[in-house]
Structure 1
Amino acid sequence: MKEYELEVLEQYDMEVKSTRRIRGAFFCDTNEGTMLLKETKISARRAPLLYKLLSRLETEAGFQVDTPVFTKNGEFLCAGRDGTKYMLKKWYAGRECEVKREADIIEAVRQLARIHRNLSWQRNFDDIEESFSFVGRLPEEEVKRHNRELRKVRAFIRNRVSKSDFEYLFLENFEKMYALAEKVTARLEGEECRKLFWESIEKRLLVHGDYNYHNVLMMAAGMPAVTNFEHFRMDIQAQDLYYFLRKVMEKHQWDVCLGRKMLEAYQAVRPLTVSEKEYIALNLAYPEKFWKTASSYYHSNKAWIPEKSVEKLRLSVLQAEEKLDFLEKIFTLNLQVPVV
């Protein structure tokens, strides 16, 4: 650990016995247990709310979460001499949830459902009136932004005189992938999804905001620990389940059996409404990987396109059929879009 990073730790009222660097953070063995010192971009206004949320989940609901630690001056953020902001948080001696281990995945889904039952603005911030700054966006807003970027990529490639393999492949598959994107967008703009969003806001339901297997620690005993709540907001809670399901299914080639088990595990703790299921299915149906690969290309140096990018684009098209088959079997969602 560099001298200025040690100076950061000196701002906390605890004895640090040893440190170990990991990506973007340090494990710290202290007289108060294991801590994690991590670079953060969270605002000074949001940090106290994060502390309040996590401390209540920890003390009142019994969850193991990475609650921030106060500095000697009673702050949640501290800065190094280079201006980098850090946050010190409680940490746990668990192993990261393994995406290839079914038992880990199922338990992580159960834990998400348990946490969702305790996540609401009213439950955690009943003494704070201002909440409008922590509201998510309408269901269709994100996909509309993706659609606009896909059209920009198509226009850019069409105007290129000499085209690469990636560019030919993109144009060859654009129409069918964009047709799918448009169908999903139209459904997300529908009355049911918008009603679900506004009901979630009215009930002031909160989401984790980045629930993936990297943020779930499997403990030797008891329930998993859950970390990195920095993106919490008021939104449709099924958004967390959609994101986790997508991340896992991409690693399991859209395995219908595992997908069904994950939904059953969640619903055994917190049943999903018909609208929530449709919302999850529509978000999964969107050609996310096709857009993401195209976006990466558009914002990169286009003079040289790695072969890996071509393979990613090709895979995104091939997996679309697997994904729609999965959605029809799990959610009975049929968008009737030919993808091959």
Structure 2
Amino acid sequence: MNEKSLKVLEQYEIEVISTRRGRGSYICETNLGKKLLAGCGSSEKKMVFVNRVLEAMRQKGYLYADIAMENREGKLLTTDREEEACILKDWYEGRECDTKSMADVEQTARRLAQLHRMMYLPPEPESDDGNYVGEDLQEEFLRHNRELRKVYAFIRKRKQKNGFEILFLNCFRMFYEQAQEALEQLRGSGYAALREEMCRRGALCHGNFNQHNVWFPGRNQIFVGNFDKCRYDVQETDLYQFMRKIMEKQEWQQNNGYRILDSYDRERTMGKQQRDYLYIRLLYPEKFWKLANQYYNRKKAWVPEKNREKLEALISQQNRRNAFLKTIE
């Protein structure tokens, strides 16, 4: 977003006192409190759905809901001069969750479990709610595995290979076998029944739960924002997303993994099906697939050095990752 985007504020019934830059956004001090003006890649209908979710959570006691404000036309999305869709929503500032601090990480895991207890909203009849369902994980794994094989075949045919490509070929079998194992375990688990039950009950997940969407406004206060990827799904998807990021950054230290699981479990106890699901998600080598996908969708003639370094780090962590997975299997 640029300063021209601030003109969209004129389309709201609001008095703007001051503005300053945030991360890809503008933080606005207004007569109605602190607001965030940010670009939005979701549709108007999706944001109406997200607002319904947040309103329901607020009624259940979540005080930090970043609910979007309607403009003068009664719409949640407003187009700026660059034809970019923007949204203006309630905002609460604080420091971002520190991935190196287990105190922050444990508090965040507890907050996530608390949110999951609130995040139930049965789809309304004759609405689009039923469209906001997460992809079937079996289909996702199948697609990712096909893509991994495609990248492997492409690199093998290249006559001159760079450092990333040589490293990829050398470690491919190790990660691909794990990807296949995760798929087979998913097929033999109770995932289909769990997913169906969660969606029937109206269980929702944040959809993009990571440290960048978690802030600490004050002591023992945690603000979780940016629910625009919210959807009906197995809620432990959020725990997986957060846990994988933290464990990668902390090089799969077993004790820290147990502390995350224990912190979540104290607020919302997981059953066997949920634990099996979480294990299978952690077993799948998603970071390896992401690196392969980034490589294939960029110009193959040039691979950033950072991608090779990321792959080296992934390989170096594999033994510790496997050791942790074995303890929670």
Contact 1:139 1:197 in 2 (8 A): no
Contact 1:106 1:265 in 2 (8 A): yes
Alignment: residue pair count = 329
The aligned residue for residue 306 of structure 2 is 308
**SS of residue paired to 1:46:** helix
**SS of residue paired to 2:19:** strand
**Partner AA of 2:62 in structure 1:** G
**Partner AA of 2:326 in structure 1:** E
- Give CA deviations for 1:255-308 in whole Å, capped at 9, x if unaligned: 111111111111111100111111111111111222211221111222223332
Range moving further from structure 2, 216-225 or 172-181: 216-225
Contact 1:111 1:223 in 2 (8 A): no
Give 5+ residue unaligned stretches, structure 2: none
**Partner AA of 2:92 in structure 1:** Y
Contact 2:45 2:128 in 1 (8 A): no
Measured in 2, the distance between the counterparts of 1:292 and 1:89 equals 31
**SS of residue paired to 2:48:** helix
Measured in 1, the distance between the counterparts of 2:110 and 2:259 equals 11
Q: Mapping of 1:1-340 within 5 angstroms?
A: 4-122=4-122, 126=124, 130-329=128-327, 331=328, 333=329
Measured in 2, the distance between the counterparts of 1:237 and 1:252 equals 24
Measured in 1, the distance between the counterparts of 2:164 and 2:93 equals 44
Q: 1:313 to 1:3 in 2, by over 3 A?
A: closer
- Give CA deviations for 1:116-165 in whole Å, capped at 9, x if unaligned: 1111222xx55665533011122222222211111111111111122222
Q: 1:276 to 1:3 in 2, by over 3 A?
A: closer
Q: 1:156 to 1:3 in 2, by over 3 A?
A: closer
Taking only aligned residues, the RMSD between alpha carbons, in angstroms, comes to 1.7
Measured in 2, the distance between the counterparts of 1:235 and 1:70 equals 28
Contact 1:119 1:207 in 2 (8 A): yes
**Partner AA of 1:31 in structure 2:** N
Measured in 2, the distance between the counterparts of 1:91 and 1:24 equals 14
Contact 1:180 1:287 in 2 (8 A): yes
Contact 1:287 1:320 in 2 (8 A): no
Contact 2:98 2:211 in 1 (8 A): yes
**SS of residue paired to 1:35:** strand
**Partner AA of 1:109 in structure 2:** A
**SS of residue paired to 2:199:** helix
Measured in 1, the distance between the counterparts of 2:210 and 2:217 equals 16
Measured in 2, the distance between the counterparts of 1:166 and 1:7 equals 45
**Partner AA of 2:144 in structure 1:** H
Q: 1:118 to 1:128 in 2, by over 3 A?
A: farther
The aligned residue for residue 336 of structure 1 is none
Cα offset, 1:12, TM superposition: 1.1
Cα offset, 1:3, TM superposition: 6.2
**Partner AA of 2:272 in structure 1:** V
**Partner AA of 2:221 in structure 1:** M
Range moving further from structure 2, 66-75 or 242-251: 66-75
Measured in 2, the distance between the counterparts of 1:94 and 1:111 equals 15
Query: TM-score, with normalisation over the residues of structure 2?
Result: 0.95
- Give CA deviations for 1:223-269 in whole Å, capped at 9, x if unaligned: 31110100111110111101110111111111111111111111111
Measured in 2, the distance between the counterparts of 1:152 and 1:2 equals 39
Measured in 2, the distance between the counterparts of 1:186 and 1:44 equals 38
**SS of residue paired to 2:6:** helix
Contact 2:49 2:129 in 1 (8 A): no
